[in-house]
Every structure is written in structure tokens, then in C-alpha cells.
Amino acid sequence: MTKMRTVDAAIAILEKEGATEAFGLPGAAINPFYSAMRAHGGIRHTLARHVEGASHMADGYSRAADGNIGICVGTSGPAGTDMITGLYAAWADSVPILCITGQAPVAKLHKEDFQAVDIETIAKPVTKMAMTILEPAQVPGAFQKAFQLMRSGRPGPVLLDLPIDVQMAQIEFDIDTYEPLPVEKPKASRKQTEKALDMLTAAERPLIVAGGGIINAGASAQLVELAELLNIPVIPTLMGWGTIPDNHRLMAGMAGLQTSHRYGNENMLASDFVIGIGNRWANRHTGGLDTYTKGRKFVHIDIEPTQIGRVFAPDLGITSDAGAALEILLEVAKERKAAGMLPDYSGWSGECTERKGKLQRKTHFENVPIKPQRVYEEMNKAFGEDTTYVSTIGLSQIAGAQLLHVFGPRRWINAGQAGPLGWTAPAALGVVRGKPDETVVALSGDYDFQFMIEELAVGAQFQLPYIHVVVNNSYLGLIRQSQRGFEMDYHVSLAFENVNSPEMNGYGVDHVKVAEGLGCKAVRVENPEDLSVAFDKARALMAEYKVPVIVEVILERVTNISMGTELDNVNEFEGVAETAADAPTAILALQG
């Protein structure tokens, strides 16, 4: 056996577990870990400007590709508490990230030492495991367990807290004898699968709700194959968007109160059977449960047993990894097809396609200031099918999900359940690390963009190029819209006369100057006819300078984006599309 510091053993384990991308900030209590990273040389580290930003970068990196696990690192006390929002965002969306914090010496943990905090207790509600490692010899086992937990069952984050004296202690360790623990994932049985298919084929208008668990399982191709084999429509959730490409004939639209398509809601309401795979029945997807469940039966397949029945009781619940469930569903469905036992659903799937060609929202507005719908229309024209979009929350994200197009898994990366403001920019940097040389386009409102705006400097320093579209109405737009029910517009305006930038015309913060001051490039657009040129210029600047490029679009101050209280009660504040020219980038040209 070889004698080494615990931190040197930890770094060797990270390499063997395949987690070699770290984001963080060094400091006194974590410096031994940083010295081990420096000595080893196999862990790439990106220096963040804020520890919360580092946690979102790790999150974005994990979401960028199958099997990725991002690492975020910080010193003790406030660095650990700064990571909590990042841990929550990852935990809520079933994303594995590993947070490593430095800590005061073991003997001083109860003495209110400088920057000593019980981060284990604080982090436990938003992690699969949080542990302050008090014994040096426990370090290898704690890391081994962390990786097993992050990958087993419903994926999620882990926090390991390392007192500085534990980091520096010597232990006996041999990386050649270290082995990752087996990953545990439940699998649907044949009997369960046959029952689910019996229920599906007894229905007249079945569909699949495809959740983010399918993307986590790397099983999008199997989902499409199953849908094609059965010839039934698919409604992806926001986290499952991309499991089936938007231009696939069986992609029936998203359903929900906000991030949904008009035709998606109508297709959902027309169904009589739903099989949900790897989804949570999130409230923004379902709306009122009486409306959502009325007149249809449900099968729910999820990797987490306690998720089944959490929101409503399905007619059949199956605990299974989404990929494992799809494999056996395909096996049984192929047998039944060969035996001529599958119904013909071409009429039903054709009805859903027909709705897709009729129920669309208008995007082609020529107003100045610019209407947001036009921005997404121009983004559809400017960015190809290989684009990965990154967004988090706000009217920008809601409208983007209604109007943009996604053509594959992990090409819509969104902090879906937590939705923390400020997540977008650092997460996009993590995505760029995970998808080098691919087109990454972030989408923010001005308020989301102003949170953690300092992380743009990270993109400039480390040459992490992407395009960040900032739709600026100088408002907390989503909150302003929700305040309509209270008949108020209270503390949601970000507008002011900027004495340094009178050209902002009362819109306040000059994002172009801020971005340029942080080492990035930026373009401002005030006329819809200039959007196409601006996106072309942004691509050219990104290619030339290898830094983030901001495209700031000055919007009309007040826009209400389509949303409602029930699937059958979504308020279309703007006119809907009446001709193909009203929605020129719709997946299916508007039909008369």
C-alpha cells in the first residue's frame, strides 16, 4: 500500500470515477485539496467568480452529456452555504453533481471557529448524501459511496465536507485496488409491462408523456422507437423536451399552464390513456388535477418508488429506470406487433398532427419596441437543429419554451423545478465545458441576466464562447404578470434613467457596457428587422474572440405571455396565428 494525503487519494478517485471537470474557488480551508489537484494535473478546474456560480456551472456540465458529473469546490462556511441553491437546483431536477467543501479542523467544529458551519445539516434536505468526514480513513469510502448514490436510482447531488486536518492526514491507499460500487437501478418486470400494454392497447386515444428521466437514462432513441412502433403521439414534459425531435410526426406538443403549445394541451385533453415515463406530474404541466385526469387512465413509470402516487394515484404504477422500462416495453410490443395484436392508431395520431397544423401562436410582429414573440421567431431562423438552449425562469423562458424548437435530448437545458434566477449564465458556461465546439445559446430576461452577471468574466478568462440572448423589458415580467391578479404593479420595475447611458432611454442597466467591461462582446437590437443581422454578428464575434457574446434585445415594457389556470383555460393574451405568415417558423405550416 502507498501512504498519501487523503486529498491525493480523493483526486485519484475522481479520475477513476470519470469526474474530471471542476468549478470552484480556492481558500484557506480547501487549499490542501487544491494542492492535490495541482500535483495530479488530471482534473480541469474553472475558477468561478461566486461559489453559487460554480455550483451552477457543475450543474450545467452534468446536464450537457450522458454520464457527466460536474464537481464544485469551495472553502468552508459561506462557500458551502452559497452552494445550497445550486444543490437545490440539481436535486430538484435529478442531476448528479459533487460539491466538495473545506472545513475548520475537527477539534474546532464545536468552538464557533472562523467560517465553521454545520454544512452537513444544512445541505441534507437538498442532497442524496451530505457528510462531514471526521476520520481520514473514511475519505475513500465516502467518495466511493457518493458516486454510487449520485448514479443509483433517481440521480442527484452529494456534498462532502472535508475538515482541513482530515485533508492533510496521511492514509494508506492504493488506487489500483479501488473499484467503483455497482450502480443500482430498478427494472420493470415482464408482468408489469404486459399489464401496461394491455391497458394502452385497450384505449382508443393513448399517448406517452415523456419525462426527464428518459434523458437521464440516455433512452431517447428507445422512446422514439416505441412511439413509432405503437404509432402513438408523445407529449414531452419541459424536462423531457427533446426526447422526441420537434419535427417528428408523433411529437404532439407540450402540455401545461405555461411552457406548453396550444395543440399540446388540446391533444392531451383529447386522449383517453396516458403512460408517463420518467416524469413527475409537475403542477405547471398538469394544472388542476381534476381537469388533467378526467376521462383518462394513467400508467406511471418512475425510477423512484415514492414518486408514484405523490401527485395523484395512477391506475398502474411501475418502479423502473426509464431506459430499462423502454427496453422491455419494446420487447413485448414487438412480439405483439409480430402477432398482429397492436391496434391501428394512425387515425388518432393523424388527429394530433392536424391540431399541430392549426393551433399555433402568432410570432410575426413588426412592432417597435420589439415584441418578444418575434425574437424567438428570429432565433428559430438563426440557429440550427444542433443548437443547445440554456434557460431557467421568467417570461423569457416560458415564451421560449412555447415558441423555440428543440431537436434532440440535452438540447434544452433548463433548471425546471427550482428555477433560480441567475442560473442561466453560469450553467451555460458549464454546458460549454461539456459540449466543446457545439453551438450553445442561452436565454434570459434582464433580471435573470443581472443575477450572477459577474460569471461572464469566467467565460472571457477561460474562452468559453456561447451566445446569450437577453430580452430586456426592464421588468420582473413574470412577477408583474402574476401581480395582475392582485391589481398591482409593485416593486417589479427595473427601469431608471441611467446618467451614464442616456441611450438606454429609461431602461436602466446598460448590459452592453457591463458585458464589455467583463471581457465579453455585446450587440444591442431595437428594431425587429435587425435581429437576423445581430445573430449573424454574434456568431462572427464568438468565432473571432472565443468569448460569450450578448445579444440584448430591447422589448416593449409590458407583454403578457400565454398562460392560465387549467389545460382548458389558457389565456392567449396576443392574437393567435391565422395564416402561415403569422407563424413562419412553426414546425408545421399553418393549415386552413
Give me the pLDDT at residue 116, please.
78
Mean pLDDT of the chain: 95
Dist CA 266 CA 50 (whole Å): 44
pLDDT at 109 over 80: no
pLDDT at 531 over 70: yes
CA-CA distance, 81 to 393, in Å (whole number)? 22
AA identity, residue 62: S
CB atoms within 10 A of CB 578: 12
Q: What are phi and psi of 324, to 5 degrees?
A: -65, -40
- CA pseudo-torsion sign 550, 553, 559, 562: negative
Q: How confident is residue 496, by pLDDT bands cut at 50, 70 and 90?
A: confident
Tens of pLDDT, residue by residue over 226-276, are 999 999 999 999 999 999 999 999 999 999 999 999 999 999 999 999 999
Write the DSSP string, 212-276.
HHHHHTT-HHHHHHHHHHHT--EEE-TTTTTSS-TTSTTB----SSSS--HHHHHHHHH-SEEEE
Other beta carbons within 10 angstroms of residue 340's beta carbon come to 6
d(CA 400, CA 389): 9
The mean pLDDT value for 473-495 works out to 80
Number of residues that make up the chain: 592
Contact indicator for 459, 547 with CB cutoff of 8 Å: yes
pLDDT of 592: 65
The CA-atom distances, in angstroms, between 176 and each of 35, 60, 179, 180 are 22, 31, 8, 11
pLDDT digits (tens, 9 = 90+) for 46-78: 999 999 999 999 999 999 999 999 999 998 788
In degrees and rounded to multiples of 5, residue 24 shows phi and psi of: 175, -165
- Least Cα distance to 122 among 72, 88, 90, 147 occurs for 88
Is the distance from CB of 29 to CB of 75 less than 8 angstroms? yes
Cβ–Cβ < 8 Å for 553, 471: yes
Instruction: Kindly provide the b/e burial profile for residues 192-208, where b requires at least 16 CB atoms within 10 angstroms of the residue's own CB.
Output: bbeebbebbbebebbbb
**Residues of the chain above pLDDT 70, percent:** 99
CA 538-541-547 angle, to 5 degrees, is: 100
Q: What pLDDT, on a 0 to 100 scale, did the predictor assign at position 229?
A: 98
pTM for the predicted model, two decimal places: 0.96
Per-residue model confidence (pLDDT) at position 1? 66
Instruction: Provide the pairing of β-strand 158-163 with 97-103.
Output: parallel
pLDDT higher than threshold 70 for residue 466:
yes
Sheet holding 234-236, edge to edge: 234-236, 206-210, 273-277, 297-302, 316-319
Q: Peptide bond preceding 305: is omega within 30 degrees of 0, i.e. cis?
A: no
Report DSSP letters for 556-572, one per residue: -S--PPSEEEETTEEE-
pLDDT surpasses 70 at 477: no
